Amino acid sequence: MKYLILIADIDEFNPCKSSLGDLVKKEYKIKHMPAFDFSHNGHDCTAVCFGIGKVNAAMGAALALNEGNFDGVINTGWSGAVSGVYKGDIIVSDSCVECDFDLTPIGRLPGQKPGQEEYVYKCNNALYNAATSVEGFKHGNLGTGDFFLTDKERRDRYKELFSISAFDMESGALGAVCYLLDVPFVSIRKISDSADDVGVEDYTNSVSTDVTAFSDIVLKVLEKI
């Protein structure tokens, strides 16, 4: 099987590449995006660093998917805790939604997109089952918006509206692209902070100390597929 591994931040991507060591076969770029190939447990993988935020996520996913026939997409990175998860936890997405897509003033539901049947993007069953079978991994709904969430009131509002467990800046956009292109998708996130007024400090500490977080996640999931 062939999988596309999508990572937003270069500070997540480079430690992942380094900790994979000799598994890395080739380094190159897809357009402007750093990429490398590696294999594990009989699976060939391409990892791509697409950049932070929803626009970068959507563009990066589309460009990378155009480069090959992938059997699925696995996204990983840091997320802020919203409900039922805590710093250091790893959460597998039940679904992903863009919390900041809002047409409620014209009568739409929060997150709802006109002309699109689904706007809460459920993750692929096979990838989800593989990821949730890893010991210690939790699961829940992921929310996305184009900002680093540090506002408790906004965090709690998104919890109420979307029943999310964690919040990040990319998974909803990646879910949208994979839904529209009919590509199996799952997002697996490690919790860096509590999405509150000390979130930046917690996030900075997580990024600087947990350098093998995402290589560990990816390898464990590939071993279950």
pLDDT per residue as tens digits for the range 102-126: 999 999 999 999 999 899 999 999 9
| Each residue's pLDDT tens digit, 10-64 | 999 999 999 999 999 999 999 999 999 999 999 999 999 999 999 999 999 999 9
Give backbone dihedrals phi and psi of 135, rounded to 5 degrees, phi first: -60, 130
CB atoms within 10 A of CB 27: 11
Reading the block at residue 193, the tokens are 């902070």
Task: Work out the burial of residue 186: count CB atoms within 10 Å of its CB; fewer than 13 is exposed, 13-18 middle, 19 or more buried.
Answer: buried
Q: What class, spelled out in words, does domain 2-222 have in CATH? A: alpha beta
CB atoms within 10 A of CB 206: 17
Residue 210 binned pLDDT confidence (cut-offs 50, 70, 90): low
CA neighbor of 187 nearest in space, from 127, 133, 145, 112: 127
pLDDT at residue number 194: 78
Chain-centroid distance, C-alpha 223: 19
Reading the block at residue 120, the tokens are 């809460």
Q: Locate the domains of the chain by residue range.
A: 2-222
Q: Is the entire prediction scored with pTM above 0.85?
A: yes
Decide if pLDDT at 209 tops 70: no
Tell me, what DSSP letter sits at residue 102? -
